[in-house]
Amino acid sequence: MSSLPARLPSRAQCLDDRLSGATQTPLETQADDRRRSARIARIDALIQPAGRLALVDVSSFGCCVRYADPTIGPGHFIALNFAGLGAISGYVRWREDENMGVEFCRAIPPATERALATHEILESVRRL
């Protein structure tokens, strides 16, 4: 007797069965039920007033950010959202008054570093 699992039907066979009106398997029924149910997402984002949220300094491995929210501090994993560039994730390594040092998860390319240093606007900081 073979210990191999039974062969699963191909995607084409499943599609043919659906089109021919065959009954759904319990897994297919459960997947359909999940697609129909409402989903609730929680987004923890705080946008600070102008002047209280700013990129102070940037390098390829991290940056200094002015951010007034005291609930984010050393050890937190965050996402920095920049206008026109998207999000960059990193860890808060230090905090002093309103300034905090962020180490990026990955070094950013020199072109991105130049863009951030010259004109990209920091829109929000989000704790992940």
pLDDT tens, residue by residue, 38-88: 545 444 444 444 446 888 999 999 999 998 888 899 999 999 998 888 899
**Residue found under tokens 């994730």:** 89
Give the C-alpha separation, 66 to 80, whole Å: 12
The pLDDT value given to residue 106: 93
The pLDDT value given to residue 94: 95
From the centroid of its chain, how far is CA 118?
A: 25
- Alpha-carbon distances, residue 69 vs 37, 45, 85, 92, 120 (angstroms): 35, 11, 23, 13, 21
From the centroid of its chain, how far is CA 23?
A: 38
Q: What is the pTM of this model?
A: 0.59
- Average pLDDT value over all residues in the chain: 76
55 phi/psi in degrees, rounded to 5: -85, 115
Give the C-alpha separation, 4 to 20, whole Å: 29
Question: CB-based burial of residue 92 (10 Å sphere; 0-12 exposed, 13-18 middle, 19+ buried)?
Answer: buried
Q: Which residues contact 42 (CB under 8 A, 6 or more apart)?
A: none
- pLDDT band, residue 101 (cuts 50/70/90): very high
